[in-house]
Amino acid sequence: MRHTATRRPKASRGSSVRIAGNTIEDHGAFKRSSLHRAFVARTCRNGGRDGQRTTVTPTTGPGRWPQIIPDTLDLDACAREPIHIPGSIQPHGHLLAVELESLRLVHASAHAGAVLNQPLADAFGQPIDRLIDADSMPSLLRSLHAAPPEPVQIGILRLPGCSDHQAIAHRSGALAILELEHLASAGAGTLEALYPQMREAIRHIQASHDFETLLARTAEKAQALTGFDRALVYRFDAQWNGTVIAEAGNGRLPSYRGLRFPASDIPEQARRLYILNRLRLIADARYLPVPILAADEDCDPLDLSFSVLRSVSPVHLEYMRNMGTPASMSISVMDGERLWGLISCHHAEPRQVSFAVRTACDLLAQVMSSQMIALERAEDANHRIRSKSIQARLLAHMAASERFIDGLADNRDDLLELVNADGAAILFDGNCRLIGRTPPQPVVEAIAAELAGRGIKDLFFSHRLPTEMQATEGTDATASGLLAISISQLHPSYLLWFRPELVRSIDWAGDPAKAADASGRLSPRSSFEIWKETVRGQSLPWRHGEVEAAGDFRTAIVSIVLRKAEEMAALNEELRRSNGELAAFSYSVSHDLRAPFRHVSSYAELLRSRAADKLGERERHYLDSIIEAASSAGRLVDGLLHFSQLGRAPLAQVDVDIGRLVKEVRHLLEPELRDHRVNWTLHRLPTVTGDPTMLRLVVQNLLSNAIKYSRDRSVPKIEVGCSTTSDAYEIYVRDNGRGFDMAYAGKLFGVFQRLHREEEFEGIGIGLANVRRIVERHGGRVWAESELGQGATFHFSLPRPDAAKSR
């Protein structure tokens, strides 16, 4: 990073600068030294943040070192700060970095000269065993050679004429980092001494059978182990906001239990570091950072990710001071590889605890994590057993129903209990079934359309649906939460579960949106007073077990749908084959029967014409019956032959003016009117694409039926019109004739189906079957509406040519 170094006024000649226990009486001489150049290069490279003005100040007096004073604290820059390479440490210890192979000193904290046997400026490049006089050096050297990536305690370093230090080592790349921490006056110095207390703490934690007890005991034991005034268990949510869910303390600090802290309080790079290094201690938030110097000023910054003395961001130090907690310690709580939360300890005054105590707290957090996972798995297992039982009942009902969707919809309680929902909707095969508390059907259909538009082919869930789908605006009371599964791999079909709005009040530790102080400077929050937020438009979040149960249920339903589809495809194939055989058979039979019936009719008529005078009245009646029966059978055979040919003949695709076709057929049918005056109403009709001969037959059959069944009216009325949908023309023929009972509407379009006696109305009952076959071959459909004695309306639809082009 680039930073501006601004110097305060020169120190007067004769003032001293003391670095690492070495006093340079002449400040000018210090400025000309390589030690100063390395110090400025390192601190300016690592000590500030992007765009931040930094002051490097030489200080006078024993025990002081040059300070890095940021002129402003920029939170945006803090979020980008490379906190793993701060270039400085906290002052309650010393840091030495040596090459793993040679153990030569390459980095050192600025006041590490206090533990070396020669000035720091001369120490770089020398093996560390020449720099430290201690009886324990042989074992210390062996530990440095074998240093692991994470810090370990390698002994107590006792130096002549100097206080004792706890030696902690870890490996960082090709370097071994040795940290010499002042021995803490509080707490046991070894894990052996802590064992009785730890054993009791772990026993209590493992005996916890619910989350609340587990978290409360963990906070209590952490506070007792460390002696801090307050210990918090802090859990992250999906947005990385943190909530204090357990707390133990002695009353010296205010309670934060139940308060929520915004994600910006612990930026992303800090969370990453918490995953790498589970322990962090700040003994005194008022400390001045001690810079790290290097033998080579052009070398890369020292990675302090696992350092126990690593200096922290000035922004965080100000945050701690604003909170009124000069000392803090954090222990990461992991759920596998995910950062679940923190155990955070605070003290009202500076406090340093031993490395052994911190390690014990880390073990405590790991035991808590293991117990937490065990409780979660037990709860998930119980939920899974319940959901599998519900799922089995639903699937049994679905299997027993003729339409499996009916079996699903008829078991409302189980369907809703499966995922703890208040309402559900089933959209399948063009139908929508609503169950329980749901939005109106148009909104439900709009939600399904949006899911299909997004390409959701498996599962979708949200507990803040109004912010994610515009179609649900205004339906918070029924649809703030949605859990949806696709139940077909062939068509856009969904099973939707809904949850209503759950109005909640969140207690924040200060206004989460307020980041600027009175002067407008971006800074850490200075107030932690409770700030209440009312959350609307959200439901109770869907639990992992509920989402998993929905996913399992989807797999089962899709299997049923696919099996039904496969069965239907097999039936359709069999039906197609049977229909083909039947069509061939009917064609063959009708063709073969035409000649015999014609012969019977012809010979009977010939006999009547030549021998009528020789026959009695009864014999002539018999002969007339034979002629009539043969003629009727011949018409049936002709109709059957025509019906078979309609299914086999190729379709011509040309433009057909339906209006013109109606006029031509009307003129053709005038002989059937039998001097009846019909009141015709012909509306504007479209031009369609199809086979003109077949469509003429459709119009002829429908108009002929309208004339036939309305001729007993004093004034027969026939109306022909059309309505238009987005993809089809729907043409209708309406009359005021005899009509029919809608209970028999399903029989109308079958072969040889009649709703009236032949004596009342002539015909063989095959005309409407021809209409249906022709229309369906054109990609349309037919249907009829009627009220007995009030006439009938016959509809047929044909695809719109422009709709086909747009698709």
Q: What is the pLDDT of residues 572-600, one digit of tens each?
A: 666 666 666 555 555 555 555 556 766 67
Residue among 702, 719, 729, 727 at smallest CA distance from 797:
729
Instruction: Give the residue carrying structure tokens 């433009």.
Output: 655
Rounded Cα–Cα distance for residues 60 and 76 (Å): 34
Residue % of the chain over a pLDDT of 90? 28
Distance of CA 640 to the CA centre of its chain: 59
- Give the model confidence (pLDDT) of 267-326 as tens digits: 888 999 999 999 999 999 999 999 999 988 778 889 999 999 999 988 888 888 888 899
Q: What's the rounded mean pLDDT across residues 342-364?
A: 93
- Give the model confidence (pLDDT) of 763-786 as tens digits: 445 778 878 888 888 889 999 998
Give the residue ranges of DSSP H helices in 207-295. Answer: 211-226, 268-276
Residue among 349, 330, 358 at smallest CA distance from 187:
358
Rounded Cα–Cα distance for residues 688 and 778 (Å): 10
- Give the model confidence (pLDDT) of 529-579 as tens digits: 555 566 678 888 898 888 988 988 888 887 776 666 656 666 666 666 666
Q: What's the rounded mean pLDDT across residues 700-705?
A: 86
pLDDT (0 to 100) of residue 507? 62
Q: Where are any strands of DSSP class E within 185-273? A: 230-236, 242-249, 260-261
pLDDT (0 to 100) of residue 229? 95
Using left for φ > 0, alpha for ψ between -120 and 50, and beta otherwise, residue 15 falls in beta
Does position 194 have pLDDT exceeding 90, yes or no? no
Instruction: Specify the DSSP class assigned to residue 186.
Output: B
Q: Binning pLDDT at 50, 70 and 90, where does residue 25 land?
A: very low
List of residues 6+ apart from 413 with CB closer than 8 A: none
Rounded Cα–Cα distance for residues 232 and 218 (Å): 9
Residue among 659, 651, 688 at smallest CA distance from 777:
651
Q: What's the rounded mean pLDDT across residues 716-738?
A: 91
Residue 796 contacts residue 662 (beta carbons within 8 Å): no
Structure tokens at 157: 């370093």
Residue 707 contacts residue 669 (beta carbons within 8 Å): yes
Residue among 378, 379, 482, 405 at smallest CA distance from 437:
482
Backbone angles phi, psi at 613, to 5 degrees: -75, -15
Structure tokens at 182: 């002042």
Q: Residue 169's beta-bridge partner residues?
A: 152, 178
Q: Where are any strands of DSSP class E within 110-162? A: 152-157
Q: Binning pLDDT at 50, 70 and 90, where does residue 130 land?
A: confident
Q: Among 340-344, 515-519, 601-605, which stretch is predicted with the lowest mean pLDDT?
A: 515-519
Coil vs helix vs strand at 290: strand
The better pLDDT of the pair 68, 103 is held by 103
The better pLDDT of the pair 162, 51 is held by 162
> For the stretch 572-594, what's the b/e string if a residue is b when 16 or more beta carbons lie within 10 angstroms of its beta carbon?
eeeeeeeeeeebeebbeebeebb
The better pLDDT of the pair 439, 523 is held by 439
Q: What's the rounded mean pLDDT across residues 150-156?
A: 88
Structure tokens at 149: 């990536």
Question: 617-648 and 767-777 are packed helices; what angle lies between their axes, rounded to 10 degrees?
Answer: 10
Q: Nearest-5° angle of CA 56, CA 57, CA 58?
A: 125
Does position 361 have pLDDT exceeding 90, yes or no? yes
pLDDT (0 to 100) of residue 168? 92
pLDDT (0 to 100) of residue 585? 54
The better pLDDT of the pair 397, 200 is held by 200
pLDDT (0 to 100) of residue 5? 31
Structure tokens at 86: 């701060």
Distance of CA 760 to the CA centre of its chain: 67
Does position 639 have pLDDT exceeding 60, yes or no? no
Distance of CA 731 to the CA centre of its chain: 46
Neighbours of 523 (CB within 10 A): 19
List of residues 6+ apart from 502 with CB closer than 8 A: 480, 538, 539, 540
Amino acid at 262: P
pLDDT (0 to 100) of residue 575? 67
pLDDT (0 to 100) of residue 489? 64
Amino acid at 367: V
Q: Residue 261's beta-bridge partner residues?
A: 242
Instruction: Give the residue carrying structure tokens 């009509």.
Output: 739
Residue among 421, 389, 396, 394 at smallest CA distance from 409:
394
Q: Residue 18's beta-bridge partner residues?
A: 23
Q: Among 54-63, 75-84, 517-526, 789-798, which stretch is predicted with the lowest mean pLDDT?
A: 54-63
pLDDT (0 to 100) of residue 233? 95
pLDDT (0 to 100) of residue 610? 75
Rounded Cα–Cα distance for residues 550 and 558 (Å): 12
Structure tokens at 298: 């052009």
Does position 73 have pLDDT exceeding 50, yes or no? no
pLDDT (0 to 100) of residue 401? 77
Structure tokens at 127: 């093996």
Element (H, E) at 559: helix 544-611
Q: How confident is the prediction for the chain on average, in pLDDT?
A: 78
Question: What HEC string does 335-379 produce?
Answer: ECCEEEEEEEEEECCCCCECHHHHHHHHHHHHHHHHHHHHHHHHH
Does position 345 have pLDDT exceeding 70, yes or no? yes
Coil vs helix vs strand at 93: strand
Amino acid at 588: S
Instruction: Specify the DSSP class assigned to residue 682.
Output: E
Residue 326 contacts residue 348 (beta carbons within 8 Å): yes
pLDDT (0 to 100) of residue 557? 80
Does position 410 have pLDDT exceeding 90, yes or no? no
Residue among 346, 352, 351, 353 at smallest CA distance from 324:
346
Q: Binning pLDDT at 50, 70 and 90, where does residue 227 land?
A: very high
Structure tokens at 389: 């039982």
Does position 151 have pLDDT exceeding 80, yes or no? yes
Residue 310 contacts residue 181 (beta carbons within 8 Å): no
Q: Binning pLDDT at 50, 70 and 90, where does residue 55 land?
A: very low
Structure tokens at 263: 């994600």
Instruction: Give the residue carrying structure tokens 């400390």.
Output: 287
pLDDT (0 to 100) of residue 80? 66
Q: What's the rounded mean pLDDT across residues 416-425?
A: 91
Say how many CA atoms lie within 13 Å of 447 toward its Cβ.
34
pTM of the model: 0.59
Neighbours of 21 (CB within 10 A): 16
Backbone angles phi, psi at 556, to 5 degrees: -65, -45
Q: State which of 102-111, 126-135, 176-185, 468-477 shows the largest mean pLDDT.
A: 102-111
Rounded Cα–Cα distance for residues 474 and 501 (Å): 11
List of residues 6+ apart from 376 with CB closer than 8 A: none
Does position 29 have pLDDT exceeding 50, yes or no? no
Residue 581 contacts residue 614 (beta carbons within 8 Å): no
Measured torsion, CA atoms of residues 587, 588, 590, 593, in degrees rounded to the nearest 10: 170
Does position 31 have pLDDT exceeding 60, yes or no? no
- Give the model confidence (pLDDT) of 95-115 as tens digits: 999 998 889 999 999 999 888
Residue 393 contacts residue 411 (beta carbons within 8 Å): yes
